[in-house]
Amino acid sequence: MLKFLIISLVILSGVFLPLIAQTTPSELIVEGRWVNPPSHDPGIPSEIYHKNMPAVEYQDATVPPQPPVRMCAEWEPAVSVLIRYPLGLPWDLVEDLAQDVHVTCLVSSSNYSSAQSQFTSHGISPSQVDFVITNTDTYWTRDYGPWFVFDGQDAMGISDHVYNRTYRVDDDQSNWYLAPDLGVELWKTDLRHTGGNFMCDGHGVGMSSDDVYNYSFNSTITQDSVNNLMNAYWGIYTYHAFPDPLGSYIDHIDCYAKFLNEEKIVVITNGVDDYNLNQVANQISGLTSCFGGNYQVVRLHCPDNHDAAYVNCLIINSFVYLPLTGYYDEDTAAIHFYERELPGYIVKGYQDYSFEPTDAIHCRTKAIYDPGMLYVDVNPHVDTADLKVKALVHDYNGMGVKTDSVFLVWRFSGDSLFTNYELMDQISGFPDSFQAYLPLPVSEETLSVDYYVFAADNSGRHSTDPYTAPGGYYNVDYEVMGIEEGTEHIVPPERIAIFQQNDKLVFRSSAGLHNIEKISIMDITGRIRSEINRHLLATGGNIIVLDLDRLDLTSGIYLITVRSDQNNYTDKINIIR
């Protein structure tokens, strides 16, 4: 409780405001936490706040990043989480962030010693946290913190907005101190914005509540001009804005919706604003995603009467950090929701007295992305014409993709392990583009395939899409696609599909396997492990099946060459026994 609360009221412009005498930080902060945290929004008419706040001297806008510009999606590879001290987060969450990812903490020079002491006392080592010395007004790093983009030269930097809470001068200026600490460039736009009212898919599609067009400065130019500035500074070429369905004081989209991936968006229900929320959900489901299909909208119940903020979670690397309410059944349902919708992610839950439906973990954290990330991007819509999977694999570190280490990894649905590694071909003329083919069904049990793409580069990084593979993966249902067992015409005739099915090694070709002379199997050391000559092969159809036990192959990667009287076909496969 504040020690110096003065009961008297002053009438200012017809509004009654409580006066609070000066209070030192030590009286407001206990063990690094605000004991009486401020509201996310002051709840005071903005014109009154503006009258009583000092004038803001903003840094001049800079030229935008060199195009093409790409803004990072929330789920892309990150190296740290940005928070602020004094904290607005429970210590058990901060400890996990430091252990699971890394923490970058904004702190003033006057609080630096206290921050060091508190982090150490909670078991966080100096190697797990970086402190950036700068003044801040609040702990909402989501709102004023960095928006990371890659420019046309593959350089990651901060493309900074003017924080729409213009009276929070130190918050708005903090990125000018953060950028040099991270060693990245900062570009500045005149646009007013706030991170809690923005989400994007990493492909140039952004979404907000439509209050963005009412922010100061933004309201003085046309909506097209606002959108054009977003395109220039953030690479956002498609921008969707929705009426705030909650009718709340804050109008932030992260209070009711969230991208889970490029095609899936969660929209909450809360038992109070469901009519408006359903309107937004229906509107989103009718929009086209970056991959050409409509968005899949999934719903998550966040009971208003229990202050649930389940959508205001942080997704980073392979973790979901979820605010909980203490109501067991509802919390458990929310955890199961994210485990179901984001397979492979580890979901961790946290309670805190300061969490509200409009202000929880997402509002108070911000990812710092890997400037040298290996970016793997798969369009999950497989064409029935050829079952081809295409992937963009780009090394932002500039050290080069290992073209012999880009694999389409798959299994027939129902198999416990991914046992098939198809080396993806680099597409001629497009050095970042790779392709490979999924297998045709060979029986009624093989009418569905799970897959992901794995890649490695010369920096030592490796990555997958989906990010949490093999826990997360894409699926192709051949029956839904109209492909049946025995379908032949969709596979290029020069291709031979080679894959493991239980204890068998299967070869399949739509052109037939009539002219096979020899099959050679070589391990990664270059030693020939097995050679099967024509007279031992049951050729004549479209399938050859070999017994792995008779081939005496153990687990490992093998190079298989199929020699015919016309040409040779070579592929890699990963055998798992």
Active site residues: 363
Secondary structure (3-state) at 121: helix
Residue indicated by tokens 């290992």: 402
- Kind and range of the H or E run holding 61: none
Residue indicated by tokens 């970016």: 375
Decide if 280 contacts 208 (C-beta within 8 A).
no
Q: Cβ contacts of residue 152 below 8 Å, gap of 6+?
A: 65, 66, 67, 68, 69
Cβ neighbour number for residue 155 with a 10 Å cutoff: 15
- Cα 494 to Cα 215, 491, 507, 569: the distances in Å are 59, 8, 13, 8
Rounded to 5 degrees, φ, ψ at 157 are: -150, 180
- Is the peptide bond between 441 and the residue preceding it cis, with omega within 30 degrees of 0? no
Q: Provide the H-helix boundaries in 469-534.
A: 478-481
Decide if 493 contacts 514 (C-beta within 8 A).
no
Q: Cβ contacts of residue 552 below 8 Å, gap of 6+?
A: 529, 530
Distance CA(109)–CA(302), nearest Å, equals: 39
- Cα 100 to Cα 5, 124, 318, 456: the distances in Å are 41, 12, 9, 22
Q: For CA atoms 113, 115, 116, 122, give the dihedral sign.
A: positive
* Amino acid letter for position 84: R
In this structure, what is the dihedral angle of CA atoms 290, 294, 295, 299, given to the nearest 10 degrees?
A: 180
Q: Cβ contacts of residue 422 below 8 Å, gap of 6+?
A: 407, 408, 409, 410, 436, 437, 499, 571, 572, 573
DSSP 272: S
**What does the block give as tokens for 7?**
């009961």
Distance CA(152)–CA(225), nearest Å, equals: 22
Decide if 426 contacts 439 (C-beta within 8 A).
no
Distance CA(21)–CA(185), nearest Å, equals: 41
Give the strands of the sheet with 528-533, arranged side by side. 528-533, 516-523, 556-564, 568-575
Distance CA(52)–CA(340), nearest Å, equals: 49
Distance CA(184)–CA(263), nearest Å, equals: 30
